[in-house]
Structure formats: C-alpha cells, structure tokens
Amino acid sequence: MATALIVLAAGQGTRMNSDLPKVLHRLGAAPLFAHALAAGRALEPARVIVVAGHGADQVTKAVAHVDPEAEVVLQEEQLGTGHAVAQAMPALGGFEGRALVLYGDTPFIRAETLEALAESPADVTVLGFEAADPGRYGRLIVTGGALEKIVEYKDATDEERAVTLCNSGVVACDAGLLAELVAGLKNDNAAGEYYLTDIVAAARARGLSAAVVTCPEEETLGINTRAELARAEALFQARARAEALDNGVSLQDPASVWFALDTYLGRDVVIGPHVVFGPGVTIESGAVIEAFCHLEGCHISRGATVGPFARLRPGAELAEDVHVGNFVEIKNSLLGEGVKVGHLSYLGDAEIGEATNIGAGTITCNYDGVFKHRTVVGANAFIGSDTMLVAPVRVGDGALTGSGSVITEDVPAGAVALGRAKQVVKPGLATKLFEMLRARKAQMKKGS
C-alpha cells in the first residue's frame, strides 16, 4: 500500500526562547524535522507533506535543502494538531493509501516503529508508550484490546489520569478517511483547539476500528526546551557511537567523537579522539581520521589518512591512499590517488593529479573578491613549500615549483617554475642595524 507522510512543523516553540522556529534547531548537525523525515523515508513514501507555520519561509527553505521532493503547506493560524493536519489534506487530494502523521520536534521514532504503524490493519492506529511518569501526556483508553479514545490530560478524569499508556501523537490512517475525520473535528475543549486525537472517538462512533502500536518511551521524546535539546543530543550521539562500533568502526575515544545524522563510515575505519562530523560525510573502509579533525560535506576513499588537526569542507573529495596532514584545509577540491598534502596548506577549488606532492604552506589563491577560480595540478607534480598558486592556473604533469614561488601563469608538463624575487645580500648591514637599534633603545631608557 502506498504511504504518505504528514510532518507537523508549524509551532513556534516559545519555551526554546529563540527567534528560530523550533524544528530548525539542530540535532546531530541536522534540523529537528530532518530526523522525522529520515525515519519516514525508510517507508519509501509516495508523498511527503510538511506543515509549516511560524517562520514558514525559513522552514520552507530548510525543507527544500533536506528533501527537495517534500511539499510544504502553510498553517497560518496555529489552532491545534487537527487543524494542522487539515491544512495538509488538500495537497493529498486523490491520494489512495495510508497517511502517517509525524512531528518535526520528535526525532527518535525508529523506521521499524513506523513500519508497524503503516502495516496495522485498523482503520486508525495510534502510537503509544508506557510512561514511567505519565505527567501531562494524553492518555490512551483501551477497552477489550481496542483503542476507545484519547483523552488530553487537561480534560481527563482522575481515573483516566491514572492510566500509564500514553499518546505520542503519531497516527496512521487511510488518507481519505483521515480527511473526513479531521474535517469533522470540533474545538469544544479546555484549550479551544482542534485535537487530532479526537479522530479516534469519531472513528469509533462510526463503527470503525482503532488500535495502538507501542514503542519504548525514549522513541517518543519531544523537544520543547534547550535543556531537552541538549539531552536529546547526548542520546543521539550515544546511539550513533554505539552503532558505529557495532558496524566495525574503531573509535579510539568514543565519548569525544561527534556524529551528524547522515554520517556514513565504512568497515574498519579508525577515528581518533575529538573528531567532529558535520553533515554529508562519507568515509570508505579502511580510512583513518586522526585526532582533532573537522569534516563536512566530503568523501574520503579507502586507505586515505586525514589529520591530525585537519579540516575538510564541502566538496572535498579524497581518492584512495591520499594523505592529508596537520593544519590542512581542503574545500571543493579533488585529490587524486596517492596525493600527499602533509601540513599547513589550503587547497580550494582545485584538482590535484595522482601521486602529486603538495609542500608545506601551499595555498591556492582561488578568490579574487568577486569570483572563485580553479587550480589544476597534474599527476606526479611537486609543489614546493610556500607556493602561491594564483588561480586560474594549471601546473602540468611532472612539473615542479620552487619553494616560495608565486605562480601566476600555466606551467607546462615537466617544467620547473620559479616565481620569487631575486635575493639581495648586504654584507655587515645586519650588524649595523642592530647596533643602531640597541643604541636607540638605551637612549629611550635614559629618557624615561
């Protein structure tokens, strides 16, 4: 059966004390809503609808970046979860299949849990959990194994508040039926809102079936405050580290390694202490990342070594057996097989041929203040230390640049390029200068 996702992401999140919409706060280097989308994408949904409200322009831009196929609809007034789902239904007009309602601030629901919801035979299925401390959660009232109704805490009786089976808010329902049920919702409750939870009682009143799928409480963790976001980050990182270790990755100091939502590490990768992964990092089997590296938007091939103290920025592509050493920064550049960039260099908007050596202090001068320009270095070249490659420029296969050179013109294959000023030596001048300066310093001390 086809599946559609409806992700509710309209809330302001006033308890975050932030100008940023709540679902754009980052967890695992990704917006909160991206976690719900990632879990839902495992179902291979035919449609994805995100309901935005507060900061809709920002949310729309972020959704387009994370999932370009998702459609964003606007909830101009925040009148409750039922009202939010109602805004999504026109976008699903004519869709035949199961609709799952998820929440952009609930990042830990597993794909396996969503699959159980999608496959439930009941007309309406709600995700519930046994709460250690039910607090102000809505309660799931089950009679004879069937879900009878959902009661919000503020509307519950004392007997209903004693129930520990709680509502996560996540719902699965036939899309056409969901449209009918939310269209009939009323707001005659303590908050004056249209509760999505009321669709259960409405379905039962029509003689339809309702059921509960349960999951561990930690999957339903919602983010409402900065403190909860910090706790969620700790939980996310602990899970990511455990998963990496289970998948054959060596973490030399697991607690100091920070992962992003989409970090991919191959088998037998070795990660040193204090490594930070931003979004979009893929590392193939057998690569080594030394301590204190920061990686984002890059691909590292088998046998490559990076660091310590290296930074790889978006667009960095390292082929097999590349070595990137300490205090090296690479951005939007392709390094061919066996390239060595040992230390203290910047390569931006560049293509470096296989087996080329980049000397210490080499910089590609790629930006003229308005435009970015590209540097191309061939295979088996030797770039001397402290070479400035002023782009656009090409250095041919097997060419060599002298240390301290400023290269502004193309260098043919096999050639040597020297681009530095002629050295001038003045015998004895240093001694005279130092004597003059020391005398001046002594005079200044007498005057004080």
The span from the CA of 96 to the CA of 86, in Å, is 17
Q: What is the pLDDT at residue 403?
A: 96
**Could you tell me if 237 and 259 are in contact, meaning their C-beta atoms sit under 8 angstroms apart?**
yes
**How many angstroms separate the Cα of 49 from the Cα of each of 93, 101, 193, 368?**
12, 10, 22, 42
Amino acid at residue number 377: V
- Residues identified as active-site: 343
Q: What is the pLDDT at residue 109?
A: 96
Locate the domains of the chain by residue range. 3-220, 240-417
H helical segments located in 189-332: 199-205, 226-246
Peptide bond into 308 cis (omega under 30): yes
Higher pLDDT, 397 or 444: 397
* pTM of the entire predicted model: 0.90
> Which pLDDT tens digit goes with each residue over 316-327?
999 999 999 999
123 has pLDDT over 80: yes
CATH 3.40.50.970 assigned to domain 3-220? The reply is no
Q: What is the pLDDT at residue 86?
A: 97
Burial (Cβ within 10 Å: 0-12, 13-18, ≥19) of residue 439: exposed
The span from the CA of 289 to the CA of 269, in Å, is 8
Question: In sequence order, what E strands does 155-201 have?
Answer: 165-174
Q: What's domain 240-417's superfamily in CATH?
A: Hexapeptide repeat proteins (2.160.10.10)
> Which pLDDT tens digit goes with each residue over 183-198?
999 988 777 889 898 9
